[in-house]
Amino acid sequence: MQAVQGLHHITAVASDPQANVDFYHHVLGQRLVKKTVNFDDPGTYHLYYGDEIGTPGTIMTFFPWRHMKRGRLGNGETAAVGYGIRPDSVDFWRKRLAAFNVAVGEVQTRFGAVVIPFEDPDGMRLELVTTTDPATIRPWHDGPIAEEHMLLGFHSVTLWLDEVDQTGQLLVDQLGYERVGQEGARTRYRGASDDVGLFVDLLHRPGEPSGRFGAGSIHHIAFRTVDDGEQQEYLAALRAAGQQVTPVQDRQYFHSIYFRSPGGVLFEIATDAPGFLYDEPLDELGTNLKLPVWYEQHRPRIEAALPVFELKEGEAGGVA
Ligand code: ZN
């Protein structure tokens, strides 16, 4: 079985969709590549952001529930998402975040990289992490950020855990990750490819309280698999190892299986195919409300119930 190549997508909870779109699309320059609904709750959007086409390893997705109370971060959760940037882009991003009144935390050094911490409008923790690894993203040239400073897809995620050994074992034995470093309570694992989204960091916080789910919480992280056949191999291997894994779910743009890590974090394994061009051409990605076929007959009612939001026009290549 092939080792997992890295992260596929990350799914989190937001409150106000307009604030979410303004931040990810306009401030961070992540293209809204799909506008659809929560398949279990079609009165709620499911918004997908990424590079120009939503390449696996760049895909951040949100369920914006307008009245959702803010969560409280704790053990058993994905606590932070790191996006890669070029070392030359540190000043650009500090200025850009300041220009949009985004508070930036104390800049850190981690495994030799500069880390700039900040939060999204719902308090979700984000980081910009410098990297010199080759960028495999598809640059979004119609966005607000010049190519030299664009976010380079996911660099890493940080999981807060009461225990780290069992989760580390799962990453290595079942998903083919390699343990590549330790700094204090943080252990780093690397996926097996040269693409983006390679690193999973486990932060050992024994005895600390669990999180409370809400706006700003990360619901799950998804790992990449090439195709349905390989996903079946993971499914069989995980079940043989005693994991409780869901059957394959059709998520329209990928196929998914879910299981909970020993530390409590929800993991998914998602296929690269079919991707976001499956039901929209490249130049229209994210501009139409896409519904799965079983909701099409209810489209007028669904559209009427969803809150309206607007995409701000970007100033291509501008600083702010
Ligand atoms: Zn997912």
270 is in which domain, residue-wise? Answer: 7-305
Q: What is the largest CA-CA distance in the chain?
A: 55
Averaged over successive runs of 10 residues, the pLDDT of the chain (320 residues) comes to: 89 98 98 96 97 98 96 98 98 97 96 98 98 93 96 98 97 96 98 92 98 97 95 96 96 97 96 96 96 96 96 55
What is the pLDDT, as a whole number, of residue 303?
97
Of 198, 197, 191, 154, residue with least CA distance to 176: 191
In a domain, 316, yes or no: no
In a domain, 111, yes or no: yes
60 Cα–ligand 1 center, Å: 9
SS (H, E, C) 228-265: HHHHHHHHHHHHHCCCCCCCCEECCCEEEEEEECCCCC
In a domain, 315, yes or no: no
In a domain, 99, yes or no: yes
221 Cα–ligand 1 center, Å: 7
Q: What is the pLDDT of residues 15-31, one digit of tens each?
A: 999 999 999 999 999 99
Q: Which residue, chain included where needed, has tokens 């897809």?
A: 153
29 Cα–ligand 1 center, Å: 21
In a domain, 100, yes or no: yes
In a domain, 140, yes or no: yes
Q: Which residue, chain included where needed, has tokens 């850190």?
A: 108
Cis peptide before 300 (omega within 30 of 0): no
| Domain CATH number, residue 164 | 3.10.180.10
267 Cα–ligand 1 center, Å: 8
154 Cα–ligand 1 center, Å: 15
Distance CA 260, CA 244 (A): 8
Domain count, the chain: 1
What is the pLDDT, as a whole number, of residue 241?
94
Of 143, 113, 138, 137, residue with least CA distance to 195: 137
In a domain, 154, yes or no: yes
Strands 178-183 and 186-190, sheet pairing = antiparallel
Determine which helix (DSSP H) or strand (DSSP E) holds 26, and give its type and residue range. none
What is the pLDDT, as a whole number, of residue 319?
41
158 Cα–ligand 1 center, Å: 17
Of 9, 25, 7, residue with least CA distance to 17: 25
Given a contact cutoff of 8 angstroms between Cβ atoms, the answer to whether 299 and 291 are in contact is yes
Which residues on adjacent β-strands are paired with residue 59? Answer: 9
In a domain, 318, yes or no: no
From the number of C-beta atoms within 10 Å of its C-beta (0-12, 13-18, 19+), residue 184 rates as exposed
What is the pLDDT, as a whole number, of residue 314?
55
